[in-house]
Amino acid sequence: MPRETSTDYRRPYRPRLVRLANRVLAGFGDRGVLHSSFAPDALMEAARGRTKLEDPGDEALVEALDVLAPSIEAEARLHPLGRVIGRARIVSTLATRLRLDALVRRRPEIDRAPLVRPIVIVGLPRTGTTLLHRLLASDTDRIRALASWEALMPVPAHDDESPRRRIAAAVGSEAALRYLAPDFFAVHPIDARGPEEEILLLDLALRSTVPEATMHVPTFATWLERADPSPAYRTMARALRVLQSQRAPAEPGWRWVLKTPHHLEWLSELPKVLEDPLVVWTHRDPLQVVASACSMIAHGRGVLSDHVDPQEIGTSWLRKGRRMVERAMAARAVMGEASFVDVRYEEIVRNPLAVARAILRRGGLEPTARSDDRMRACLGREAKDRHGVHRYRLEDFGLDERAVSDAFAGYRAAFGP
């Protein structure tokens, strides 16, 4: 029988060695990791020390860090090893941002390169976006996707560094996550060499949903609702330009294929940084989506904390999901229907190749025998439940069908159940 994911969200899986490490780290008291600083200045100083680069003074980045770091300190309740990982993640993100900006200062022509007619997949989590993304990304002659190792490290630590070191680091990160949270791979498979969301590029501005998906940081999440998203989108576009300067498909007329549910909330930002994006919006009945998405967040938060509150996740994510689709519908009315392709989850499941071929055509790329073969091979690799069976129920998160139907009434009226 395939492995089934745990629904005991309040007691996250904890490997024996991690439990031992937490006891040891907690035992150091005032000298230990529990008192390592999440102060914004200390985090930025650690990033400068790692890169030997000076921060040019990005006010938007400082503003975000000044909200995020205290929110983690006061609210996230990370276990000792989670505190080590969480702090290292922020320092690594800041260091990558310093390297990215320094590279473009040395090579300003990168910032002038166009990002032409990308295909951007959006939709609520658990609506088929990952499979569709990986299908399109398999047409590597004409499609450029962000690889997971590039998302983690878009800029090498040294100018002459080959990708091998970055790939090896990403493989190590994948193995570490698999050890810490094997259930997570049944929820959202991760492949160090495979396509990944650009959410990590948006996070280089510290204005993304990454923190609230992995930690309980309600103060930061509330701030993010109202914060200006444009610094994140400018940073994402800069990182994409850097990456396409490193590697681009050989065929002329190639396209980026991008994907993250984060874009739903900020669709109007896409045309500001991307040239004529084609937005592919995936749809699925929210009654089939909400519990699955809440489960994904609960498993994600359980990696770093022993304190996961599924009811809080249900309440906050239902509100967030509603806000995402309502903002997306308002932005769509301004952008115009010509910029959108709508895809039902059921269509992706029933005939994924036909859906992918139709999207390629809308993007100006005629399907070929070679692209069909590659997409079929991709489908063979993406077998459902290959990492285990994802189990979830609305009631585990304090929700019921009426609450979900009411929250998404406008969206369901516009796009069907």
**What does the alpha-carbon distance between residue 381 and residue 59 come to, in Å, rounded to a whole number?**
44
The helix (run of H) or strand (run of E) holding residue 404 is helix 401-407
Q: Tell whether the model's pLDDT for residue 35 goes beyond 70.
A: no
CA angle 295, 301, 185 (to 5 degrees): 60
| Residue 114 confidence (pLDDT) | 93
The average pLDDT across 218-222 equals: 98
| Residue 311 confidence (pLDDT) | 97
Angle (deg, nearest 10), helices 369-381 and 129-137: 140
Report residue 26's pLDDT band, with 50, 70 and 90 as the boundaries. Answer: confident
Backbone angles phi, psi at 131, to 5 degrees: -60, -45
CA angle 259, 336, 134 (to 5 degrees): 15
Contact yes or no for 144/282 (Cβ under 8 A) = no
| Residue 29 confidence (pLDDT) | 60
Positive or negative: CA dihedral 13, 19, 21, 25: positive
pLDDT digits (tens, 9 = 90+) for 48-107: 999 999 877 799 999 999 999 999 999 999 999 999 999 999 999 999 999 999 999 999
Q: Tell whether the model's pLDDT for residue 363 goes beyond 80.
A: yes
Please state the domain extents for the chain.
Answer: 16-415
| Residue 382 confidence (pLDDT) | 81
Q: Tell whether the model's pLDDT for residue 30 goes beyond 90.
A: no
Q: Give me the residue label for tokens 């071929």.
A: 357
| Residue 385 confidence (pLDDT) | 62
DSSP 262-320: GGGGGGGGHHHHSBS-EEEEEE--HHHHHHHHHHHHHHHHTTTBS---HHHHHHHHHHH
| Residue 34 confidence (pLDDT) | 55
Q: Tell whether the model's pLDDT for residue 387 goes beyond 80.
A: no
CATH tag, 16-415: 3.40.50.300
| Residue 388 confidence (pLDDT) | 79
pLDDT digits (tens, 9 = 90+) for 352-361: 999 999 999 9
| Residue 27 confidence (pLDDT) | 78
Q: Would you tell me how many other CB atoms lie within 10 Å of the CB of residue 175?
A: 11
Q: Tell whether the model's pLDDT for residue 15 goes beyond 60.
A: yes
The DSSP output letter for 2 is -
| Residue 416 confidence (pLDDT) | 84
| Residue 31 confidence (pLDDT) | 56
Which of helix, strand or coil describes residue 250? coil
Supply 403's token pair. Answer: 């609450």
DSSP 135-192: HHHT-TTTEEE-BHHHHH-SS-SSTT--HHHHHHHHHHHHHHHHHH-TTHHHHS---T
| Residue 399 confidence (pLDDT) | 97
Q: Give me the residue label for tokens 């976006």.
A: 129
Contact yes or no for 264/328 (Cβ under 8 A) = yes
DSSP β-bridge partners for residue 280: 121, 341
DSSP β-bridge partners for residue 279: 120, 340
Which of helix, strand or coil describes residue 78? strand
**What does the alpha-carbon distance between residue 225 and residue 266 come to, in Å, rounded to a whole number?**
10
CA atoms in the 13 A half-sphere facing the CB of 175: 6
| Residue 33 confidence (pLDDT) | 56
pLDDT digits (tens, 9 = 90+) for 276-335: 999 999 999 999 999 999 999 999 999 999 999 999 999 999 999 999 999 999 999 999
Report residue 32's pLDDT band, with 50, 70 and 90 as the boundaries. Answer: low
Which of helix, strand or coil describes residue 58? coil
| Residue 159 confidence (pLDDT) | 67
| Residue 1 confidence (pLDDT) | 60
Contact yes or no for 216/309 (Cβ under 8 A) = yes
Residue 416's contacts (CB-CB under 8 Å, 6 or more residues apart) are: 283, 344
Report percent pLDDT > 90 for the chain: 84
Angle (deg, nearest 10), helices 40-51 and 59-71: 120
- Considering the chain, what is the average pLDDT of its residues? 93
Indicate the pTM of the whole model: 0.94
Contact yes or no for 302/9 (Cβ under 8 A) = yes
**What does the alpha-carbon distance between residue 5 and residue 294 come to, in Å, rounded to a whole number?**
13
pLDDT digits (tens, 9 = 90+) for 368-386: 999 999 999 999 988 776 6
Among 160, 402, 124, 130, smallest CA distance to 265 is for 124
**What does the alpha-carbon distance between residue 226 and residue 265 come to, in Å, rounded to a whole number?**
11
pLDDT digits (tens, 9 = 90+) for 97-139: 999 999 999 999 999 999 989 999 999 998 999 999 999 999 9
pLDDT digits (tens, 9 = 90+) for 147-181: 999 999 999 887 667 788 999 999 999 999 999 99
